[in-house]
């Protein structure tokens, strides 16, 4: 009788405690192990290689911990009296249950499969800047179910991995982070466009974040990264110019463009170059009637 009670105690109390303790220690071990591995990646000089390995290590960490929790929950269920016998009868209807569970969890499974695919083929890595679903941001985390994107205004967008696998992604960071950016500037029709172009290019070259080649090509032509201005349109009230310039990283493009616009405006004001705005002439109906009466009088 005492032996039976001891066995019951081991099964109901000691067993689950041991499983929980082992699970906790394993999770702690793997978290600590992968954190050390990720820290060691800082020694790798190649940014591309470092990002790929960091992404795969984080994903593997999440994957292993998820498996540990699943096995721990299954093992704890078997400590419940009668669960083993119940599980045998449950297996008899496993075919129907699998179909039901498959339909219920198809989205979750699709996200997991897509997450594994992303980790293996690496269309993007943690730290990459992406444009997806009309949003631009940096990849902050990659899990089995979803990817976390941190936007420029500090929002976190949680996107299911299956959705990412179906959508087109613009990766600004893969292979080469250098980005071509443009800003539009309008000048009046009276302006000397050559002078306006020189001012705009000069202001672009002054900016510290604009890539300016020190040496031109051998044939004397402009380097591909040289800032350049083109006339894009003869508008209703302005000649529209567009400045193209290169920056080293996508994150610098917006602010650099704003700075250049501000500096160009100040320089235009000094040189007397007008940045036009729409003119609108308003004619009142009363004035039209008076003009008609005057015309009629003159005809008589």
Tens of pLDDT, residue by residue over 173-182, are: 877 778 889 9
- Does a structural domain hold residue 190? yes
- Does a structural domain hold residue 184? yes
Q: Do 30 and 136 fall into the same domain?
A: yes
Q: Name the CA radius of gyration of the chain, rounded.
A: 33
Q: Which long-range contacts (CB under 8 A, 24 or more apart) does 273-277 make?
A: 273/187, 273/188, 273/191, 273/195, 273/196, 273/199, 274/187, 274/188, 274/190, 274/191, 275/185, 275/186, 275/187, 275/188, 275/238, 276/186, 276/187, 276/188, 276/237, 276/238, 277/237
Q: Do 165 and 242 fall into the same domain?
A: no
Q: Do 166 and 55 fall into the same domain?
A: yes
Tell me which of 155, 171, 187 is where a domain ends.
171
Confidence tier at 256 by pLDDT (50, 70, 90): very high
H or E element that contains 76: helix 47-77
Q: Do 219 and 137 fall into the same domain?
A: no
Tell me which of 150, 171, 192 is where a domain ends.
171
Q: Do 191 and 265 fall into the same domain?
A: yes
CA distance 40 to 298: 94
Whole-number pLDDT of residue 15: 72
Q: Do 114 and 256 fall into the same domain?
A: no
**pLDDT by residue (tens digit) across 57-114?**
888 888 888 888 888 887 777 776 665 555 555 555 555 555 555 555 677 778 888 8
**Lowest-confidence pick of 18-22, 41-45, 285-289:** 285-289
- Does a structural domain hold residue 287? no
Whole-number pLDDT of residue 35: 84
Mean local confidence (pLDDT), 150-167 = 89
Confidence tier at 8 by pLDDT (50, 70, 90): low
Percent of the chain with pLDDT over 90: 21
Total number of domains in the chain: 2
Residue 212 structural domain:
179-271
Mean local confidence (pLDDT), 230-240 = 90
Mean local confidence (pLDDT), 234-261 = 90
What does pTM read for this prediction?
A: 0.58
Tell me which of 171, 203, 232 is where a domain ends.
171
């Amino acid at each position: 009788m005492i032996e039976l009670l001891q066995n019951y105690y081991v099964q109901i109390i000691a067993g689950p405690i041991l499983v929980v303790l082992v699970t906790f220690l394993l999770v702690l071990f793997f978290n600590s192990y992968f954190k050390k591995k990720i820290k060691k990646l800082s020694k790798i000089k190649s940014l591309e290689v470092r990002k790929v390995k960091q992404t795969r290590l984080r994903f593997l960490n999440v994957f292993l911990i998820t498996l540990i929790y699943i096995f721990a929950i299954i093992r704890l269920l078997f400590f419940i009296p009668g669960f083993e016998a119940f599980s045998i009868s449950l297996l008899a209807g496993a075919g129907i249950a699998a179909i039901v569970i498959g339909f219920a969890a198809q989205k979750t499974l699709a996200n997991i499969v897509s997450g594994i695919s992303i980790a293996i083929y690496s269309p993007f890595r943690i730290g990459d800047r992406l444009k997806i679903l009309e949003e631009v941001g940096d990849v902050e985390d990659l899990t089995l179910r979803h990817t976390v994107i941190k936007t420029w205004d500090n929002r976190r967008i949680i996107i299911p991995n299956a959705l990412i696998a179906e959508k087109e992604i613009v990766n600004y960071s893969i292979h080469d982070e250098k980005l071509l950016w443009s800003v539009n500037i309008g000048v009046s029709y009276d302006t000397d466009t050559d002078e306006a172009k020189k001012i705009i290019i000069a202001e672009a070259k002054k900016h510290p974040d604009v890539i300016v080649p020190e040496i031109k090509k051998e044939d004397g032509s402009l380097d591909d990264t040289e800032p350049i201005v083109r006339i894009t349109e003869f508008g209703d009230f302005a000649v529209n110019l567009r400045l193209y310039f290169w920056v080293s990283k996508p994150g610098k493009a917006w602010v650099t463009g704003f700075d250049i616009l501000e500096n160009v405006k100040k320089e235009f004001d000094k040189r007397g170059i007008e940045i036009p705005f729409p003119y609108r002439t308003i004619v009142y109906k009363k004035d039209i009637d008076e003009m008609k009466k005057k015309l009629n009088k003159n005809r008589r």
